[in-house]
Amino acid sequence: MLTRTDYTNLWTNPAPGGFSQAIHTLPNYEEYVIRENQLQDYLDIFRGRDTRGARPIEPPVWYYDHPFLEVLKANAGAPKIEYIMIGEAAPPLSPSIPGQIPDNGNSYFYNIHHGTSAYFTAPCTAFDIPSGNKTRRLLALARKGVLLLDIFPFATNYKTEFRNWLNGIGVTRNFWVNVGEEITSLRNNSLLHKETKLAFIAPPTISHFIAEGINRHDWPKFDCTARLGVNEFSPATLLPSTDTHFKKIPIGTMLMTPGLNLGLTITTAPIYACCCYDGSNYPQSIYITSAFT
């Protein structure tokens, strides 16, 4: 978890070590601290203990009681992290209606009072998590060994032009190394499965860029595995695409590996097998399943 100074420096420092942005546009630090503590609440499931009293940076007021405390008290055995989904960043907060739960105007993955988006529902579908209470769904994802890590700590509006700049000037690569430090810390604390897998659910500009580096074998995977190669289909005929992140596919096409039918509505697929977005730039459950196969 970043201190206020480190958080601010990562926003204002020159690229590639920082975002090279003006200080007056810095996204809210207190909101970042809450998000990071909600992630730590989730990681407590893997630790098998409540760490709220021992975290280096706590929010001024706890946002809600620890949602997994009863599970931790039951001491049912901690799962291991086997599947790490790489996202881009938390979405910026919209104004909330006081007392409204779920807050469907917001959708941070680990906030149990927020609603859900495709970034939550697609992984749930991929791992056969039924609909219902978000706390129970998060617990079920943890029991399956699923973790989401974002590349960037800033909840801001990432447009395609900005993403291309982050990629081109080396910022994305620099922050990918920071993600690796998080993964290494989890491994050093015995929270990872011995064969942890990576998949990329960030929007295509970021996911494709990292996947390309991994497939060239010059980007690190931090002792994890990622499904290499491109998506292949049956029938093999692919329609031309003007978007280099996608392949156009005929209706009803089947993924060659692991042999998943794409159904009647999906007509675009990510080029790389470790990527999980569809043509609308959101995660698609079938590609999450495929990436982790």
Q: What pLDDT sits at residue 151?
A: 98
Q: What pLDDT sits at residue 96?
A: 83
Q: What pLDDT sits at residue 142?
A: 98
Q: What pLDDT sits at residue 284?
A: 95
Q: Which helix (H) or strand (E) holds 41?
A: helix 29-47
Q: What pLDDT sits at residue 187?
A: 98
Number of domains present in the structure of the chain: 1
CA–centroid distance for 27 within its chain: 19
Residue 274 in any domain: the answer is no
If DSSP codes are grouped into helix, strand and coil, which group holds residue 2? coil
Structure tokens at 106: 């917001």
Q: What pLDDT sits at residue 234?
A: 87
Q: What pLDDT sits at residue 113?
A: 97
Residue 117 in any domain: the answer is yes
What average pLDDT values come out for the chain (293 residues) when binned by 10 residues? Answer: 98 98 98 98 97 96 96 87 98 87 95 97 97 96 98 97 98 98 98 97 97 97 97 81 86 86 86 94 95 96
Residue 80 in any domain: the answer is yes
Where would I find the H helices in 127-248? 134-143, 160-168, 171-188, 204-215
Residue 193 DSSP label:
E
Domain with 165, as residue range(s), is 4-226
Q: Where are the beta strands (DSSP E) in the chain?
A: 81-87, 146-150, 192-200, 225-226, 233-234, 246-248, 254-255, 268-270
What is the C-alpha end-to-end distance of the chain, expressed in Å? Answer: 31
Do 195 and 225 touch, CB atoms closer than 8 A?
A: yes
- Model confidence, pTM: 0.97
Do 241 and 247 touch, CB atoms closer than 8 A?
A: yes
Residue 44 in any domain: the answer is yes
Q: What pLDDT sits at residue 267?
A: 87
Residue 33 in any domain: the answer is yes
Structure tokens at 74: 């039951």
Q: What pLDDT sits at residue 175?
A: 98
Residue 132 in any domain: the answer is yes
Q: What pLDDT sits at residue 136?
A: 97
Q: What pLDDT sits at residue 258?
A: 81
Q: What pLDDT sits at residue 46?
A: 97
